[in-house]
Amino acid sequence: MSEEPLLKVENLKTQFFTEDGTVRAVDGISFEVYEGELVGLVGESGAGKSVAAMSIMRLVDSPGVIVDGEVTFKGETLIGYEETDDSESGEPPELVPREGMLSEEEMRTQVRGREIAIIFQDPMESLNPVFTVGSQIREFIELNRELSDEAAKAEAVEMLREVGIPEPEKRYEQYPHQFSGGMRQRVLIAMALACEPSLIIADEPTTALDVTVEGQILDLVEELQAKYDTAFVWVTHDMGVVAEICDRVNVMYLGEIIEQADVDELFYDTAHPYTEALLASMPRPDETTGELNPIRGVMPEAINPPSGCRFHPRCPEAREVCRRVHPDLRTVGEDGERGRVHRAACVKHDAFDVGYEGSEPLENEATGGFEVGLTGEGSR
């Protein structure tokens, strides 16, 4: 198939320059989103999911800096860096924005809101408490589409109806605090959809909601996604959410994507021990008696990531070689939708010929090689 991806992220790197050192929050991630596809970005807290989402929109605040990578969207360069050629002056090459990269002004007027919308976990951060919900949606529509007051209002009411808010005319006149958490999240979805963007980036929009309301919102998203053919990048730490709505999944650990596959492949032919650990820590409807196995240890700091494979100190399958070799993302299986492959960054696979088989197993928390919980708790 010669279809081009809608969004293409290549080797994206975002760092925070703090007093304690450089936080490599997003450290060279690559993934694609095709039209109408729901793509998950999943991982524990601190993995770099939100920073990745904000980077794509070029909304990273100081001290954060996008230091490298390419992001293209519908053929436009949202982010693109190239090395300067300073062979004459003798200066070391520098990374500079490439010719053709959209300006800040173009990002604001042509991309954000119109083409790519973003929804956050806390709707109260996106909604102004002193204005009515309706006026905020109307204003957003007016800002991005050439519509009269009247038409924009009608559209806003229509969108509220569309996301399942009862009595939308009445609700239009109400303030954000008069809405429940789930209803507020519906409002944000209405706002995001109002400009018919091709892509919506959703950063844990259902995490704060109770399970029933979350389920309703996920159903709504699936319904709207089918109707409008909007693509989504869905940020979550919850494998249950991934199972429910995603087509394709990227698993992040400490700034890197460590596994990438179609959702069924990821669940039934898991290739990375970290993904396996995430799945084991999640309740499964098909295993009623199974105990949950939380992942051992905590994710290390992104300032000083472990050597070799970043997951090796917590990995039940870690061997000596894992401490030395930093695995890139390699193909471990074919047959994805749209001809895409299953990739994993783990040297236990044949795609890596670095001597995993003959390497000595490592003793760590996950392999039971030393006591867990140095504070005394785990030593029973």
Q: Which residues bind ligand ATP (CB under 6 A)?
A: 16, 18, 23, 25, 43, 45-51, 63-64, 237, 302
Closest distance of CB 301 from Ni ion, Å: 16
Q: Where are the alpha helices (DSSP H) in the chain?
A: 49-56, 104-106, 123-126, 133-144, 149-162, 168-172, 181-194, 211-228, 239-245, 263-268, 273-280, 320-324
Q: CB-wise, 168 or 305, nearer to ligand ATP?
A: 305
**Residue 207 neighbours by CB under 8 Å, 6+ apart:** 121, 236, 237, 238
State how far the Cα of 110 lies from the Cα of 54, in Å rounded to an integer: 17
* Binding partner of residue 25 among ligand ATP, Ni ion, none, CB cut-off 5 to 8 Å per kind: ligand ATP
Q: CB-wise, 157 or 302, nearer to ligand ATP?
A: 302
* Binding partner of residue 48 among ligand ATP, Ni ion, none, CB cut-off 5 to 8 Å per kind: ligand ATP
Q: CB-wise, 133 or 254, nearer to ligand ATP?
A: 254
**Token code pair at residue 331:** 């193909």
SS3 at position 239: helix
Q: Which of 274, 367, 276 is nearest to 320 (CA)?
A: 367
* Binding partner of residue 117 among Ni ion, ligand ATP, none, CB cut-off 5 to 8 Å per kind: none
Closest distance of CB 299 from ligand ATP, Å: 9
Q: CB-wise, 238 or 320, nearer to ligand ATP?
A: 238
Q: Which of 199, 117, 201, 187 is nearest to 156 (CA)?
A: 187
Closest distance of CB 316 from Ni ion, Å: 26
Q: CB-wise, 256 or 365, nearer to Ni ion?
A: 256
Closest distance of CB 11 from ligand ATP, Å: 17
Closest distance of CB 168 from ligand ATP, Å: 32
Q: CB-wise, 178 or 304, nearer to ligand ATP?
A: 304
Q: Which of 94, 34, 31 is nearest to 249 (CA)?
A: 31
Q: CB-wise, 250 or 270, nearer to ligand ATP?
A: 250
* Binding partner of residue 51 among Ni ion, ligand ATP, none, CB cut-off 5 to 8 Å per kind: ligand ATP
What secondary structure, in 3-state letters, does 60-94 show? CCCCEEEEEEEEEECCEEEEEEEECCCCCCCCCCC
Residue 30, H or E segment = strand 21-33
Do 175 and 184 touch, CB atoms closer than 8 A? no
Closest distance of CB 282 from ligand ATP, Å: 15
- Name the residue with the smallest CB distance to Ni ion: 50
Region 16-55 residues binding Ni ion, contact defined as CB under 5 A? 49-50
β-sheet bridge partners, residue 71 = 9, 79
Q: How many CB atoms lie within 10 A of CB 159?
A: 24
Closest distance of CB 228 from ligand ATP, Å: 26
Do 336 and 342 touch, CB atoms closer than 8 A? yes
Q: CB-wise, 17 or 131, nearer to ligand ATP?
A: 17
Do 185 and 209 touch, CB atoms closer than 8 A? yes
* Binding partner of residue 361 among Ni ion, ligand ATP, none, CB cut-off 5 to 8 Å per kind: none
Closest distance of CB 206 from ligand ATP, Å: 13
How many residues of this chain bind Ni ion (CB under 5 A)?
A: 2
State how far the Cα of 314 lies from the Cα of 150, in Å rounded to an integer: 58
State how far the Cα of 11 lies from the Cα of 30, in Å rounded to an integer: 5
* Binding partner of residue 237 among ligand ATP, Ni ion, none, CB cut-off 5 to 8 Å per kind: ligand ATP
Q: Which spans of this chain sit near Ni ion (rule: CB under 5 A)? A: 49-50
